[in-house]
Structure 1
Amino acid sequence: MGNGFDGEHQDRLAHGTRTAAIVRSSFAPRCEDALSQASVKTYLPWVVAAALFMEQLDATIVNTAIPSIAASLGVSPLSLKSIVSSYILSLAVGIPVSGWMADRFGTRRVFAVAIVVFTLASVLCGLAVNAPMMIAARLLQGLGGAMMMPVGRLAIIRTFPKSELLGAMNFVIIPALIGPLLGPTVGGLVVHWVSWRYIFFINVPVGLVALFLVFRYMPDYRAAQQRPLDVVGLILFSSGTALLSWFLEIFGEHTLAPLTAAAILASSLGLLGGYALYARGRKFPLLRLSLFRIRTFRIAVLGGFLTRLGLGGMPFLLPLLYQVGLGFPAWKSGLLMMPAAIAAMAMKLVSQRLLQRFGYRQILVVNTVCIGLTIGLFAFVGADTPLVLIVMLGLTQGFFNSLQFSCMNSLAYADVDDQDSSMASTMSSSFQQLSMSFGLAAGSLVTAWFLGDVPQTDRTMVIGALHHGFATLSIITVISSLTFWRLQQNDGESISRGTALRL
C-alpha cells in the first residue's frame, strides 16, 4: 500500500474543506430539548465513558468468577469458557451493523437501546439457573455492548471538531483502559465477599445512571440520506468475523485436530475474502473498504492491529508472573495492575502537548518501541526484584499504552470526511475487535509455548519460561513500529494542533 492513493486523498481533503459546513449541518443533532452545544460537549464524554466502562469491565470481570459460577450451576469450569467466547462472538456480529443502525434510527435511540439491552442481559446473567441460560444472556449482553462502542465513538466524532477530538477521546478512552484492569480485581473481591451474581447486578445502577444521561445529554445524530442494509454483506462479514474470533478464542486452550483447525480457519478467511470481493461492486456495502485508501486511516487501523499482537499477551503473562512465579496472592496481583490505570489518567494531561510538539509519526514510532522495551523489561523481574520497581514498570507501561491507543484511535479520523464518520467508526471498531482476538490468541500461544510442561510448583522454571514470553512479545511489538514509518510528518495536524478539552 504505497502512495498511489495520495492524489485522490488530496482531492478528498480539498472537497471536504469546501463542504465541511454543509456536511456537518446534515448531521445536526435532532435534540427535542434544544440542548446547547456547550452542554453537549461538557457531558457527552461522561455519557460515553460511563457506558464504555460498564462494557469493558464486564468483558473481564467474569473471568475470575468462572469457578464459582461453575460450582453454583453444577458444571465444570471448562464448560463455562463459552460464557467468555459467547460475549466475544456477539461483539463480532453486532459491531458491523451498528453504524447503519445509528444512521437509520439516530445515535441517541440506538445508544439508549444498547444500554437497556446490556443492563437487562446483566440481570438475566445474575439470575441464570443453568449454563444455557447464562450463555444466552451473555450473547444478548454482547449485542448490547456491540452497539455501545462504535455508536458512542460516532457521537463524539460528530460533536467535536477535529481540533478538539483528541481531548475528547483522551477522556473517553480512560474507562476503556481501566475497565479490563479492574475487572479481575473487582471480580475476585465480589466472589470472595458475596455471591458471584452481584458481578452482574452491579451493572444495574451504572446502567440506570448512563440511561438518564443519554436522554438528557446525548445528541441525536442521523444520516441525511438513508442507505439500505447490506444483508448479504452482513451475513458474509459477520459470519467470517465471528468464526475467526471463536477460533482464536479457543485456539491454544483446547486441543483441535489439525484438519479441524485448518477447516475452521479456511472457512472464516473464505467468508471474509468473499465479502471483500462482494463489497467491491456494491453501492452501499456494509463496510466500505475503499476508506483504506486514506493513508492515515489505513495506517492507524492496520498499524494498531499489528501493535496489539504484542500487547495482547500481557493479560496472560502478568498474572502468571505475579501469582505463579512470584507467589503473590490474587488480591496483590490485582493491585499490581492498578498502576497502569493511574498512568492512563495521567497521560491525558500531556498527550495533547506531546502531539503538538512531535506529531503523530514521531510519537507512534517512538512510543511503539518504548512499549516493546517496557514489555521486555518484565523479562528481568524475578523473586528478588523490589516491589517498587515492579510498580514503576507498571506505571511506565500504562502511560505508553494509553498514549498509543489515544493516538491510534484519533489518527484514524484525521482525514475522514464527516459524511464517512459513521462508516469509519464501524470499520475501526470491527478491526479493533479482531485485533483483540488475535492479540489474545498470540498471548495464549506464547504462554503455552514457553510454559509447556513446566510444573507450576517450580517457581524458578515458571519465571524463566515467562521471561522468554516477555522477550518474544517485546520483539513483536518493536517490529510493529515499522508500520508507522509510512506516516508523513504533517499527518493528523487537524487533530494534533487542536485545543485540549476542558471538562
Structure 2
Amino acid sequence: MEESTVKRFLPWVVATALFMEQLDATIVNTAVPAMAESLQVTPLSLKAVAASYVLSLAVGIPVSGWIADRFGTRRVFAVAIAVFTIASALCGLSQSAGQMVVARILQGAGAALMMPVGRLTIVRTFEKSELMTAMNFVIIPALIGPLLGPTVGGLIVHWLSWREIFFVNVPIGIVAQWLIHRHMPNYREDARRPFDWRGLLLFGSGTALLSWLLEIFGEHQIELVTGAVLFIVAIALLLAYWRHALRAPYPLLDLALFKKRTFEVSVTGGFVTRLGVGGLPFLTPLLLQVGLGLPAWKSGLLMMPTAAAAMGMKMASRPILARFGYRAVLIVNTVMIGVTTCLYALVTEQTPLAAVVAIGFALGFFNSLQFTSMNSMAYADVEPQESSMAATIASSFQQISMSFGLAIGSLVAAWFLGGASQSNPHAVINALHGAYLSLGLLTIVSSLSFWRLHATDGASLSRASPELA
C-alpha cells in the first residue's frame, strides 16, 4: 500500500465513518414519536434508546486505545464499522422497545471505537506539518451530521417509515468497509501492556453514570436528592480513578499526558468551550420552529449555511493558523463564537431570514475553525508512541463535554422559561434569548483557557505542506 495513496484516501475513510455516526446520533430523535406508536409504548419511555447509546459510548471509548494497540487499527476500525452497521439494521428490525435498547447498546459499542481509532490512524499516518489538512477532512462530518440529521430524519419518516432511518447506515457502512480494506493502514504496538481492569471499573462506571444523568436531564422526573446523590457518586468514582491512575504502572488513561501544556490546554480548554456551544444544536431548532413557527423542513434548510461555512473553512484554516498562530486564533475565535451566539438573542419574528442565515454562516465558520484548531493542537507535542492514549483521552473528554453542554443549554433555557407554557412562542423566544446570551458569555469567558499557550505553540502543525486532496 503506497504511502501517497494512503494519505490521499485515509481522511475520506475516517470521514465516511464519522459522518455515519454523527448523522445517526441526531437523525434518530426525529423518529421517536413514530417509533413509540409503532412499538406501542410512550415516547418518554423511548428515552432509554438514546440513554443506552450514550452509556455504551461512555464505557467503550476509554478502552479503544488499548484495543487498537493490541489488534491493529485497520482490523478494529473495520470491526467497529461492521458492528455499527449490523446494529443499525437490527434497530430497524426491532419489534419491541427492549430489542431496540439492546441494538442501540451494540451500536454504541461500535461507535465508541470509530472516532478515537480513526483519529489515532490519522495522527500516526501524517507528519505534524500535514496533520492540519487531514484533520479538516475529519472534523467536517462532526459539524454537518447534526445539521442534516433532523431534516433527513423528518423527510424519511414523512415519506417512508421510521425503520428506514436505521437502514440508511447499511450502504454507507458497506462503502466504508471497501475503503478501509483498500486504503487504511494497520498500526499496532509490538509491546503489549496489561489491561487496567480496575481503571475501567472506576472510570467507566463514573462516566456512564454521569452521562446517564445528563442524558435524562429534563426528560424524566427525578428527585433532586436522588439526582444529587448519583452525581456525587459519579464524581467520587472519577476522583477515585484519578488517584488510581497516578499510581498504576499502566493506567487505562495516562494522566501524565496532561503535563504537556499544548495537550492539556487543548483538552481542558476545549472542554470548557464545548460547555457553551454544546447546547446550540438543541436550542436553534427550538428558536426556528417553536419560536418563529417555521416548519421542520424550512428550519433544516436555514441551518444548511452553517454546514456550508464549515466546509469552506477547510481551505482557510491552515493559512489563518500559519499567519496568526494557534494562541491568537483560539483566543480571538472563541470570543467570536460567543459574540455570534449572542446575536441569536436579536432574532425575532420580524428578523429577515437573510439575517438568520448570516448568523448561522458565521457560527459555522467560527465553530469549524475552533474544532479544527483544538483537535489538532492536542497532538502538537505528543510522541508517536503516545498517540493512541492521546486520542482516547481527547475522545473521552469530548464526549463528556458535549453531554454537559447539552444539559447546560437545556437547564438555562428552562430557567428563563420559568412556569410559562412551551407552546407560547413569545415566551419561548424570550427564554431562548436569555439562554443564547448566557451561553455566549460563557463561551467568551472560556477564551481565557487559551491564554496559557505560547505564541509558537503548534507551529509544526500549521506550516505549509502539500494539500492532501
TM-score by length of 2: 0.99
Partner secondary structure for residue 315 of structure 2: coil
Match of 2:367 among 401, 412, 416: 401
Could you say what secondary structure the match of 2:441 adopts? helix
Counterpart code for 1:315: P
Could you tell me which of 342, 346, 349 is aligned with 1:383? Answer: 349
Q: 1:90 to 1:500 in 2, by over 3 A?
A: farther
Aligned with residue 251 of structure 1, among 217, 220, 224: 217
Once residues 312 and 378 of structure 1 are traced to their aligned partners in structure 2, the CA distance between those partners, rounded to angstroms, is: 15
| Structure 1 position 318 matched with structure 2 position 287 | no
Q: Distance in 2 between matches of 1:79 and 1:324?
A: 23
Separation (CA, whole Å) in 2 of partners of 1:96 and 1:501: 32
Question: What's the CA shift string for 1:159-217, capped at 9, x where partnerless?
Answer: 00000000000011111211111111111010000011000001100000100111111
> In the alignment, which residue of structure 1 is the partner of 2:6?
40
Candidates 98, 105, 108, aligned match of 1:132: 98
* Aligned match of 2:130: 164
1:403 deviates by 0.4
Secondary structure of the residue that 1:236 maps to in structure 2?
helix
* Structure 1 residue 457, shift from structure 2 partner: 4.2
Name the residue aligned to 1:268. 234
- How many Å apart are 1:252 and its aligned residue? 2.6
Contact 1:352 1:500 in 2 (8 A): no
Identity of aligned residues (%): 64
1:45-74 CA distance string (max 9 Å, x none) = 111000000011111100010000000000
Where does residue 461 of structure 2 map in the other structure?
A: 495
Residues 7 and 468 in structure 2, CA contact (< 8 A), matched pair in contact too:
no
**Residues 461-480 of structure 1 aligned to structure 2 (within 5 Å):** 461-480=427-446
Partner in structure 1 of residue 162 of structure 2: 196
Deviation at 1:299, TM superposition (A): 0.4
Q: For 1:184, which of 141, 150, 171 is the aligned residue?
A: 150
Is the 8 Å Cα contact of residues 137 and 314 (structure 2) preserved in structure 1? yes
Structure 2 matches for 1:87-486, cutoff 5 A? 87-486=53-452
Q: Which amino acid in structure 1 is aligned with residue 81 of structure 2? A: I
Asked if the contact 1:347/1:403 (under 8 Å) is kept, the reply is: yes
Please tell me the residue identity of whatever aligns with 1:155. T
Query: 2:413 touches 2:434 (CA, 8 Å); kept in 1?
Result: no
Structure 1 range deviating more: 363-372 or 176-185 = 176-185
Number of the residue aligned with 1:13: none
Please give the per-residue CA displacement for 1:306-332, whole angstroms capped at 9, x wherever unaligned.
Answer: 001110121221111101111101111
Change (3 A) 1:250 1:376: same
Q: Give the deviation of 1:456 after TM superposition.
A: 3.7
AA at the equivalent of 1:481: S
Cα deviation, 1:277-325, whole Å, max 9, x if unaligned, reads 1111111110000100000000000000000111012122111110111
The C-alpha deviation readout for 1:330-356, integer Å capped at 9, x for no partner, is: 111111111111001000111000000
Q: 1:500 to 1:78 in 2, by over 3 A?
A: farther
Give the 3 Å change call, closer, same or farther, for CA 143–457 of structure 1 in structure 2: closer
**What is the rounded CA distance, in whole Å, between the counterparts of 1:458 and 1:94 in structure 2?**
41
8 Å CA contact 1:92–1:242 kept in 2: the answer is yes
Amino acid at match of 1:218: M
Cα drift, residue 85 of structure 1: 1.2
Report the residue type matching 1:118 in the other structure. F
**Kept in 2: contact 1:190–1:198 (CA 8 A):** yes
1:500 and 1:348, CA in 2 relative to 1: closer, same or farther beyond 3 A? farther
- Give, in whole Å, the separation in 2 of the partners of 1:238 and 1:177: 27
Query: What code does the residue aligned with 1:198 have?
Result: E
Give the partner amino acid of 1:426: T
Secondary structure at the counterpart of residue 192 of structure 1: helix
CA contact (8 A) 1:313 1:446 kept: no
